[in-house]
Amino acid sequence: MKLWIANVVATIAVGAAAILQLVDASSPADSSCGPQCDPHGYIVIFTAIPVLVVLLVALSALGSLVMRHRAGFWLELVAAAGCAFELLLLRSLLTVVHAVSVGAVIAAAVVLAIVGLRKAPVRRQYRLPEPPYPAA
């Protein structure tokens, strides 16, 4: 039971890390630059698409984990991989502290998902009993 809850929290953390990467990349580290650093908003445009994909996968993983389906662990791994791809994409725009904290969230989510895939009991789906067949 605790493993499922830990994976739900890790999935929420991956989604939050994806959003925080977008926010940190769109705001420059030094405030002297201002809006002229990215006047057309290309950073926000091209980083919002991976963030949306990661968030959609994280939300579907969250739903699967709440329903206790094994697919939630796989979707959590995909969301963490998407967040890691985004970290590689934005590594020059992020501060070191933020990049390390996002990396730690990704590593924790991957470890919890792998442990969940190996050890978590999965609820069996209920099957209706088959009706008796007539004698042939």
Reference 64, options 119, 115, 120, 8; nearest CA is 8
pLDDT for the residue 123: 66
CA 12 from centre of chain: 7
Structural contact between residues 55 and 20, judged by C-beta atoms closer than 8 angstroms: no
List pLDDT tens digits, range 48-79. 888 899 999 999 999 988 888 888 899 999 99
Instruction: State the Cα–Cα distance between residues 43 and 46, nearest whole angstrom.
Output: 5
List pLDDT tens digits, range 67-112. 888 888 999 999 999 999 989 988 887 888 888 999 999 999 999 9
pTM of the entire predicted model: 0.79
Structural contact between residues 73 and 115, judged by C-beta atoms closer than 8 angstroms: no
List pLDDT tens digits, range 15-52. 999 998 888 877 766 555 655 666 677 777 777 888 89
